[in-house]
Amino acid sequence: MSKTDLTRRVSRRGVIKTGAIAGAGLALPTIFTSGARAFTNEPMGGTVTLGFNVPQSGAYADEGADELRAYQLAVEHLNGEGDGGMLNTFSSKVLEGNGILGKKVGFVTGDTQTKSDAARASAKSMIEKDGAVMITGGSSSGVAVAVQGLCQEAGVIFMAGLTHSNDTTGKDKKANGFRHFFNAYMSGAALAPVLAARYGADRKAYHLTADYTWGWTQEESIAAATEALGWETVNKVRTPLGAGDFSSYITPVLQTDADVLILNHYGGDMVNSLTNAVQFGLRDKMVNGKQFEIVVPLFSRLMARGAGENIKGILGSTNWHWSLSDEGSQAFVKSFGTKYGFPPSQAAHTCYVQTLLYADAVARAGSFNPCAVVEALEGFEFDGLGNGPTLYRAEDHQCFKDVLVVRGKENPTSEFDLLEVVEITPAAQVTYPVDHPMFAGGALGDCNAG
């Protein structure tokens, strides 16, 4: 597609026409663009700048640190450094290790602080001051939704990092935004059958839930999935992000007839709430003639390490795990381990993959124009990146792929060997229609090139 075709397409899609570019009559918000560039931050020299916006402080800082490591590794591989990692296993073969479209890849970083306002400010600065043509990162769905909205307004692509709320590709989806990571519905669809098989259908669940978009949709998803298999929901209690001590939320659980505690928490909050639950003796209790169980719908190796002994036997779901034996996973684990001395987390994996997917889309489109990138990613089917055959669905920009159900290992062999995969749930089991009620509201809209 030529630059002229893309320009006409963006104009047709209704971008505000307050300025003129190359005679096309396109809108160019001056806070994001300058000069005679055809789209926001069009790379004009020999380099292209990507913006890596991760939590370097706050409750999800551990995830953010691993994301940043993965981004740096991806940049090295795109620029032809190192062993190439997943470039060697990716089913698409257009990336040659010479940057993106021959331009050397550079990057800038920002700290989201796991706060939506801070994340937007950081992303805005990277776009306005640093010329970032794509923004990626984050470990919070509140952050992802906020930054995705900003990128839509600015006319740049947003490749979401770790965001698990249904809303990211549901009511808050945007044409310029794409998510590789799985979502709360998928966790529920994969995990609930395993829970029912192991713990029985006659269970009573008490939910503690992070009080923001991810927690809300995770609670809704796992409650609906377990109730459909016979479980009863006893109570749902919201907890503030970064609460630290969850003792006051654990005590009321003891006063109910619940025999399962579901912790819809992530990062440091999950580590703290699980620790408090164990300290209160929940895992030693017998209720309704059954062993009391704790479930963490979404967790990672980083959280397992933080939880220590308390994670043993706990069931949850994850997007990816470094122990997978497929060629792509092992190539990534080798590259990451060689550079950093330890295996990558699921956060690192999804961020590395998103960077490659963006670069690949630009290369296949032959342009950095966001609308060209959108077209290249919509409906794109690929393999070799660690999750098996994967589809970037055009209608909502959500990736559909297999989901892992994992459990904390009883006898880990190292500080990294903390989780075991108990089931690989096929993509078909976690796929839902575009108009599913949990994803209702909002519209993908049209791409914005600035």
pTM for this predicted structure? 0.90
pLDDT of residue 422: 97
Judging by beta carbons within 10 Å of its beta carbon (0-12, 13-18, 19+), is residue 424 exposed, middle or buried?
middle
pLDDT of residue 134: 98
Rounded Cα distance between 153 and 367, Å, is 20
pLDDT of residue 208: 98
pLDDT of residue 35: 54
Amino acid sitting at position 206: Y
Phi, psi of 395 (to 5 degrees): -70, -25
Judge contact between 184 and 165, C-beta under 8 A.
Answer: yes
pLDDT of residue 303: 87
Write the CB contacts of 399 (distance below 8 Å, at least 6 apart in sequence): 179, 180, 181, 182, 387, 390, 391, 392, 393
CA atoms within 13 Å, Cβ hemisphere of 103 = 21
Query: Which run of H or of E encompasses 159?
Result: strand 157-160
CA 175 to chain CA mean position, Å: 17
Judging by beta carbons within 10 Å of its beta carbon (0-12, 13-18, 19+), is residue 402 exposed, middle or buried?
buried
pLDDT tens per residue across span 139-157: 889 899 999 999 999 999 9
Rounded Cα distance between 428 and 402, Å, is 8
SS3 176: coil
From first to last of the 450 residues of the chain, give the pLDDT tens digit.
Answer: 444 344 333 332 333 222 222 223 333 444 444 456 899 999 999 999 999 999 998 878 888 999 999 999 999 999 999 999 999 999 999 999 999 999 999 999 999 998 999 999 999 999 999 999 999 998 889 899 999 999 999 999 999 999 999 999 999 999 999 999 999 999 999 999 999 999 999 999 999 999 998 999 999 999 999 999 999 999 999 999 888 899 999 999 999 999 999 999 998 899 999 999 999 999 999 999 999 999 999 988 888 989 999 999 999 999 999 999 999 999 999 999 999 999 999 999 999 999 999 999 999 999 999 999 999 999 999 999 999 999 999 999 999 999 999 999 999 999 899 999 999 999 999 999 999 999 999 899 999 999
pLDDT of residue 114: 86
Q: For residue 276, give Cα distances in angstroms to 19, 182, 248, 251.
A: 58, 28, 9, 10
Write the CB contacts of 164 (distance below 8 Å, at least 6 apart in sequence): 141, 181, 182, 183, 184, 187, 214, 218, 266, 298
Q: Under CATH, what is the fold of the domain 47-182+322-397? A: Rossmann fold (3.40.50)
List where CATH 3.40.50.2300 sits in the chain. Answer: 47-182+322-397, 185-318
pLDDT tens per residue across span 301-313: 888 989 999 999 9
Judge contact between 139 and 161, C-beta under 8 A.
Answer: yes
pLDDT of residue 242: 85
* Runs of H (alpha helix) within 261-392: 267-279, 301-307, 327-340, 346-365, 370-377
pLDDT of residue 26: 33
Q: Under CATH, what is the fold of the domain 185-318? A: Rossmann fold (3.40.50)
Sheet bearing 315-318, strands edge to edge: 232-239, 204-210, 260-264, 293-298, 315-318, 403-408, 419-425
pLDDT of residue 62: 87
The closest alpha carbon to 220, from 190, 187, 198, belongs to 187
